[in-house]
A and B are shown apart, each in its own frame.
Chain A
Amino acid sequence: MAFDEPTIAEILRRQGISRRGFLKFCATTASLMALPPSMVPAIAAALEKARRPSVIWLSFQECTGCTESLTRSHTPSIEGLILEQISLDYHHTLQAASGEAAEAAREAAMRENHGKYLLVVDGSIPMGNAGYSTIAGVSNLDMLKETAAGAAAVIAVGSCAAYGGLPAALPNPTGAVPVSAIIKDKPVMNVPGCPPIPVVITGVLAHFLTFAALPELDDHGRPKVFYGESIHDRCYRRPFYDQGKFAETFDDEGARKGWCLFKLGCKGPVTYNACATTKWNQGVSFPIQSGHGCIGCSEPGFWDMGPLYKPLSMPIAPVQMMVGAAAAGGAIAGAAMAMRNRAAKKSAQAAHQKVTVEDLEKAK
């Protein structure tokens, strides 16, 4: 990438997006990441100056579902805006080049943007035998190490890259491991889910572009703003659980009335993700709203957690004592998080509207 590349703001303007639309986009990003509105000018200033960031996307032992999740999101949307503004210099599925030309593109991007590019990985890495998964004759392990060496940060997208995923399911025939098991000297952020919610992927990209740093992460390396509370705690069917009203089969009276799916194996109580508030397909629905329990796809080891349709059971002995102020703080922060997600959704809708219709018509 040459140094006279246009900035993100310039590219947006060339596409007919007004200054106001651009600021709306910045506001959406701020609210998406639960940042105070006072941060909007800082985000705008950062993005004004930002050159198209180079992104190298490596796919290892995966199914392409994560790429599908991101690219099948409606356009134009905030996801689309972000995707168009990055310079996706290498992505097996999306790039036009193939063979040697493709690998040359990756090497060129690594050379020209050394220390600055973002590395996105989906899929796990086989440690059993280097020959289990190779790209252009290079093992996944070698390619990950080589590409991560010059990256500013690594984003492990999907449960395979984050935790090993289905390839790591017992007996783990390929010896699959997550990115974090190999890359120890770079910031690695996990964005798990099978697949992850697209707006979560783009939200963290926007955060990185603005602050040149990853957002705050939890114990599993996940951005707290999206993975801070359980599906169960923000589920719209939650009152039915509280009342002991459960669907016992998928076609009984309880199922028709939209009662709690716990007895049908819903893993919502132990799954941390934003599905219940951000939802899918631009806020249309999520599995529980469509009548199926959560399978816990963003949790480590979900593939080996027992049958999908068997109810959860909890250990009787308390694993960790919950005490006073600390627990209260956690509960308050968790309960308040729902509000942030809602604000994000609303302003994403508003920004979508303003950028695509109103601003374009009113642009001078």
Chain B
Amino acid sequence: MSASGSAAALRAHAEDPSRLLEAAFRRIQAETMDDVPILNPALSVEAVGFARWQGHWLGILVTPWFMNLVLVPGGTGSWLSAAPGQRLFRKFPSGDFAFLGSEEPEVGEFQSCSLFSPMGRFADQVAAREVALAVLEALQRETAAAAPQAPKKATFDDPKQAALERPMSKREFLGGVFRRSSGAVRPE
């Protein structure tokens, strides 16, 4: 699941990826989430409201253990890959949202932004779906009060890159940020 591996095998979806996402997360639920004590048994895996957004697929994935905003590549051209554990900020009318890279065999690469987890506060699937649709609507609405400061373009939250973009201090030169970023705990 390295960044270069994902880029080489990037799978773009011409069709709505809802069924594939649901298949992947139903498998995960059956295989590995069995003994996790924070699942909400009133909920099930469901992809809600997937539609085209800037050439890709944007929607919400509801599961018994999380509700995420999910972005799936709809074309290879404008897709920016994010390695697992790396934050990628994407612009929406309501603000800028941090997405994390992920990958499953059924879907290939995709990115998600957490909305709710755990899911204990949803009474049933109808309530979860209703909130998901409201989120998708609120996302595209300009909310001056809630809007955080925007960067000029979608950017990576990469300390190494940030460090290269500014002059290096003596402290950093003497073994700070550069050595640190390469030695950080990172998933393979």
Interface residues of A in 9-57 (CB under 8 A from B): 31, 34, 36-37
Chain B residues 135-183 with CB under 8 Å of chain A are 135, 137-139, 143, 146-151, 157, 159, 162, 166-167, 169, 171, 180
B4 contacts partner chain A, Cβ-Cβ < 8 Å? no
Q: How far is the CA of A118 from the CA of B29 in the complex (A)?
A: 52
Partner of A339 from B68, B95, B162 at Cβ < 8 Å: B95
In the bound complex, residues from chain A placing their C-beta under 8 Å from that of B122 are 318, 321-322
Which secondary structure dominates where chain A touches chain B? helix
- Which of B38, B98, B102, B180 is A269 in contact with, Cβ under 8 Å? B38
- Verify if A134 is at the interface (C-beta below 8 Å from B): no
A283 to B159, Cβ gap below 8 A? yes
Determine if A336 and B148 form an interchain contact, defined as CB atoms under 8 angstroms apart: yes
Determine if A245 and B131 form an interchain contact, defined as CB atoms under 8 angstroms apart: no
Mask for A218-230, Cβ within 8 A of B = 1, else 0?
A: 0000000000001
- From the candidates A31, A257, A284, A321, name the one contacting B188 in the complex (CB within 8 A): A257
Among residues 335 to 364 in chain A, which have CB atoms less than 8 Å away from a CB atom of chain B?
335-340, 342-343, 346, 349-350, 352-353, 356-358
Taking A232-B117, A349-B162 as contacts, is the C-beta distance between A239 and B102 under 8 angstroms?
yes
Taking CB as reference atom, which chain B residue is nearest A311?
A: B37
Q: Residue B112 at the A interface, CB < 8 A?
A: yes
Name the distance in Å between A290's Cβ and chain B's nearest Cβ. Answer: 7
B101 at interface, CB cutoff 8 A? yes
Number of A-B residue pairs at CB separation under 8 A? 191
Chain B interface size range: 35 or more
Q: What CA separation (Å) do A357 and B171 show in the bound complex? A: 12
* A19 to B33 alpha-carbon distance, docked (Å): 56
Contacts of A337 in B (CB 8 A): 148
Which bucket holds chain A's interface residue count? 35 or more
Contact between B40 and A314, CB atoms less than 8 A apart? yes
CB closest chain-B residue, reference A34: B148
Residues of A with C-beta under 8 A to B171: 74
Write out, one digit per residue, whether chain A residues 298-329 have a CB within 8 A of any chain B CB (1) or not (0).
00000000000001111110111111110111
CB pair A244–B31 under 8 Å, yes or no, is yes
Is B84 an interface residue when CB atoms closer than 8 A count as contact? yes
Known: A243-B102, A284-B180. 14 other contacts (CB 8 A): A234-B114, A240-B187, A242-B65, A244-B29, A244-B31, A258-B85, A316-B41, A318-B120, A318-B121, A321-B122, A322-B122, A331-B131, A356-B169, A357-B167
A residues contacting B by CB (< 8 A) are 31, 34, 36-37, 74, 230, 232-234, 236-246, 257-259, 262-263, 269, 283-285, 289-291, 311-316, 318-325, 327-329, 331-340, 342-343, 346, 349-350, 352-353, 356-358
- 7 tightest A-B CB contacts, nearest first: A244-B32, A328-B134, A313-B37, A336-B95, A258-B187, A239-B102, A339-B148
